[in-house]
């Protein structure tokens, strides 16, 4: 865990320290809640959302109304899978949970750009590297060995800045399967709500 914090800190320091006399930039810390769900390719399984958290750092390079915002944060995702077992008429549940180190690279536009307030739209790719995987498996059907080690996704959403506070609401949609086994394949979609402090 310490090496990921070190990477975030070094990334922020290097980006903020580069070309200070030329670049218009903000940097800061962020954290928040996320609601994620694993959607399956099998009709006999239904997907349920779970709530979790994320925290990390960001740098925003301001290019007039346009901006580029690389980020680095730790996040927990996953989802619950329900199924009807043939030997039991009741629903059984397996909970998929994983932690990842995420690196989004976002491009945005400031729709409203005032000194104390701005309204933004943003989108871009996000790269995820899994650090921990677990399945609370009531059905004894799924295995952590079928989790992928990395994932590519797209993020898009809106943001608001008020003075030194920044708030983002985003959707993340994975392009590939996060889980791929004999019983089921699944993609992970996530809603992220983030609150940050700009420096």
Give the tens place of pLDDT for each residue, 121-163: 999 999 999 999 999 876 667 889 999 999 999 999 999 999 9
Domains of the chain (ranges; CATH) run: 2-198 (2.40.160.20)
How would DSSP label each residue in 142-176? --GGGB-SEEEEEEEEEEEEETTEEEEEEEEEESS
* Token duo for residue 40: 């399956």
What was the pLDDT predicted at 198? 94
Task: Point out the least confidently predicted range of 23-27, 48-52, 105-109.
Answer: 23-27
* 95 confidence band (pLDDT: 50, 70, 90): very high
Residue-level pLDDT at 137: 78
pLDDT-derived band at 17 (thresholds 50, 70, 90) equals low
pLDDT exceeds cutoff 70 at 97: yes
Residue at token pair 């791929």: 180
Tell me the per-residue pLDDT of 66-94, one tens digit each, with 9 for 90 and over: 999 999 999 999 999 887 666 655 677 88
DSSP assignment, residue 29?
E
Query: What pLDDT band is residue 3 in, cutting at 50, 70 and 90?
Result: low
């Amino acid at each position: 865990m310490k090496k990921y914090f070190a990477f975030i800190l070094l990334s922020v320091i290097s980006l903020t320290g580069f070309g200070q006399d030329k670049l218009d930039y903000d940097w800061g810390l962020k954290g928040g809640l996320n609601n994620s769900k694993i959607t399956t390719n099998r009709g006999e399984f239904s997907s349920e959302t779970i709530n979790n958290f994320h925290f990390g750092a960001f740098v925003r390079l301001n290019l007039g109304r346009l901006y580029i915002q690389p980020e680095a944060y730790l996040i927990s995702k996953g989802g619950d899978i329900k199924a009807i077992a043939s030997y039991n008429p009741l629903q059984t549940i397996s909970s998929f949970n994983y932690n990842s180190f995420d690196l989004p690279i976002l491009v945005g536009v400031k729709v409203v750009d005032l000194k104390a307030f701005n309204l933004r739209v943003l989108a871009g790719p996000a790269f995820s590297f899994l650090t921990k995987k677990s399945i609370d498996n009531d059905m004894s059907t799924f295995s952590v060995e079928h989790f992928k080690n990395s994932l590519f996704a797209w993020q898009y959403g809106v943001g608001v800045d008020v003075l030194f506070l920044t708030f983002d609401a985003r959707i993340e949609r994975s392009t590939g399967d996060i889980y791929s086994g004999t019983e089921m394949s699944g993609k992970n979609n996530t809603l992220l709500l983030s609150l940050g402090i700009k420096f």
